[in-house]
């Protein structure tokens, strides 16, 4: 079978699989596979499927082997056996799709990098490096639609959500796409604080006309944390006119915030109205499946291969994409500088150490944590902190110890003192136990998510 026939067979197979699984599952896993080879042995067909990473291989092999086997058997009209390998694909179909854009003089990577730098876009924030799941698939689809038709599909596109959920990544990915299509696109990504500071400097230095020219003559304006212009009269006035100038000229505006426009206190009604004229989408905190994909993507960026159990261990214990990235930086720095082996035990030991540099922490007192855990499990404080060894009480107590140690950052001895004067070894055992459960047990993952929500709202 020729390679073009392989492509058609696998394209048809993926179309069938796409109907059988969720869009998030397809985009995260199955879309990153391709057909490597076919070999007929007797009355059976041996099919070799390439996966873009070891994580994709493990997930597809474990979860979708039977579904893929059945689909291929029907396509080939004979029994099949499947083997999975890690192998990247030269994506010819995508090249053919975008090739007309490059009928112009060829643009080298240095020119692209220079354009990205000029636009203030982050180099690694592309659609290819954005993991998709149920919590963010609507925002991802909207961003891709905008990238395909900037200034037309959704204008403005307003993306809101908590810290570290991928809002900025999606916004910058649109910019990447626009520059790859037209390197001369005039794009600027900034924060609301940058915009405000430029306005203030313009007034102070009598260069307001230059500032207006910088922002109002763009093909696309991307503003992060737009909620921070609320309550600042001059900044809101200037942004109102900037918004009108960009959009009326056919330019695209994308905004991110921590809440939808109507909930931003002291934001002018005329701005709220304009923001609501486009599409407003939210990005929820990543679920376990999405966090697993993020761990793998961030690890591969550093040339590190993590085992499936190690990926699950990290994803089960860290709830934010930004925290995941910070954790991996700390972990790999330790491995590279101390030349120690990257083992599951090492990962587990690091999960027990709170990151003092992280700005994503649970800012509550130990007593508030105890109260929240007791309330979540419908237990009295005396029961939770007491001596009972019944499972319905022991597990919440262990989770309480885990939160106090890893999320609040208390020493083992202090956690033990707060919970009935227990020995530090008991606390260590509880932390290890919950750390493991968070990578394997769905109930524990959901409980932790629910408890954390009582802290963060």
* HEC secondary structure over the chain: CCHHHHHHHHHHHHHHHHHHCCHHHHHHCHHHEEEEEEEEECCEEEEEEEECCHHHHHHHHHHHHHHHHHHHHHHHCCEEEEEEEECCCCCHHHHHHHHHHHCCCCCCHHHHHHHHHHCCCCCCCCCCCCCCCCCCHHHHHHHHHHHHCCCCCCCCEEEEECCCCCHHHHHHHHHHHHHHHCCCCCEEEEEHHHHHHHHHHHHHCCCHHHHHHHHHCCCEEEEECHHHHCCCHHHHHHHHHHHHHHHHCCCEEEEEECCCHHHCCCCCHHHHHHHCCCEEEEECCCCHHHHHHHHHHHHHHCCCCCCHHHHHHHHHHCCCHHHHHHHHHHHHHHHHHHCCCCCHHHHHHHHCCCCCCCCCCCCCCHHHHHHHHHHHCCCCHHHHHCCCCCHHHHHHHHHHHHHHHHHCCCCHHHHHHHCCCCCHHHHHHHHHHHHHHHHHCHHHHHHHHHHHHHHHC
Q: Consult the annotation and say whether 80 binds a ligand.
A: no
72 Cβ neighbours under 8 A, 6+ residues apart: 13, 45, 47, 80, 82
Residue 183 CA to residue 176 CA, distance in Å, equals 10
Distance CA 80, CA 103 (A): 42
Kindly state the tokens that stand for 364: 């509550």
Tell whether residue 420 is among the known ligand binding residues: no
Close Cβ partners of 145 (under 8 Å, ≥ 6 residues apart): 153, 154
Report the DSSP pairing between strands 33-41 and 44-51: antiparallel
Listed residue (352, 122, 360, 337) closest to 222, CA to CA: 122
Q: Are 209 and 242 in contact (CB under 8 A)?
A: no
Q: Is 92 annotated as a binding residue?
A: no
Q: What is the CA radius of gyration of the chain?
A: 25
166 labeled part of a ligand binding site: yes
Tokens 């291989």 found at: 57
Residues making up the annotated binding site for ATP are 164, 166-168
Residues making up the annotated binding site are 164, 166-168
């Amino acid at each position: 079978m020729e390679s073009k026939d392989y492509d058609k067979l696998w394209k048809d197979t993926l179309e069938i699989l796409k109907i059988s699984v969720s869009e998030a599952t397809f985009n995260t896993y199955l879309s990153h596979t391709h057909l490597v080879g076919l070999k007929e042995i007797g009355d059976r067909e041996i099919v070799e499927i390439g996966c873009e990473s070891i994580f994709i291989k493990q997930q597809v092999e474990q979860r979708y082997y039977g579904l893929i086997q059945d689909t291929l058997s029907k396509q080939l009209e004979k029994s099949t056996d499947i083997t999975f390998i890690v192998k990247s694909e030269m994506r010819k179909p995508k090249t053919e799709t975008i090739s007309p854009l490059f009928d112009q003089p060829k643009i080298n990577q240095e020119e692209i990098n220079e354009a990205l730098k000029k636009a203030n876009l982050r180099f690694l924030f592309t659609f290819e490096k954005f993991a998709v799941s149920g919590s963010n698939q609507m925002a991802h689809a909207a961003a891709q639609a905008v990238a395909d038709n900037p200034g037309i599909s959704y204008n403005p596109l307003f993306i809101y959500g908590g810290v570290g959920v991928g809002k900025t990544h999606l916004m910058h990915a649109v910019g990447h796409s626009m520059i790859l299509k037209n390197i001369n696109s005039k794009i600027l990504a900034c924060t609301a604080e940058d915009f405000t500071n430029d306005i203030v400097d313009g007034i102070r230095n009598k260069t307001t006309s230059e500032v207006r020219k910088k922002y109002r003559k763009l093909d696309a304006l991307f503003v992060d944390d737009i909620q921070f212009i609320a309550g600042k009269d001059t900044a809101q006035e200037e942004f109102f006119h900037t918004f009108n100038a960009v959009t009326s000229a056919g330019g695209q505006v994308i905004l991110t915030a921590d809440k939808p426009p109507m909930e931003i206190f002291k934001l002018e009604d005329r701005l709220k109205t304009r923001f609501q004229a486009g599409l407003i989408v939210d990005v929820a905190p990543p679920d376990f499946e999405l966090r697993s994909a993020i761990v793998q993507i961030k690890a591969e960026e550093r040339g590190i291969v993590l085992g499936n159990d190690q990926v699950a261990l990290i994803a089960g214990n860290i709830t934010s994409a930004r925290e995941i990235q910070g954790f991996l930086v700390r972990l790999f720095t330790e491995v590279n500088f101390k030349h120690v082996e990257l083992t599951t035990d090492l990962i587990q030991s690091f999960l027990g150490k709170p990151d003092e540099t992280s700005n994503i922490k649970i800012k509550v007192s130990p007593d508030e944590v105890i109260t929240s855990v007791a309330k979540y499990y419908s237990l009295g404080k005396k029961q939770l902190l007491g001596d009972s060894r019944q499972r319905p009480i022991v597990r919440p107590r262990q989770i309480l110890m885990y939160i106090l140690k890893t999320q609040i950052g208390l020493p083992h001895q202090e956690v033990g003192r707060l919970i009935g004067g227990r020995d530090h070894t008991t606390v260590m055992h509880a932390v290890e136990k919950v750390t493991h459960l968070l990578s394997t047990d769905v109930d524990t993952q959901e409980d932790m998510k629910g408890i954390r929500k009582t802290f963060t709202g």
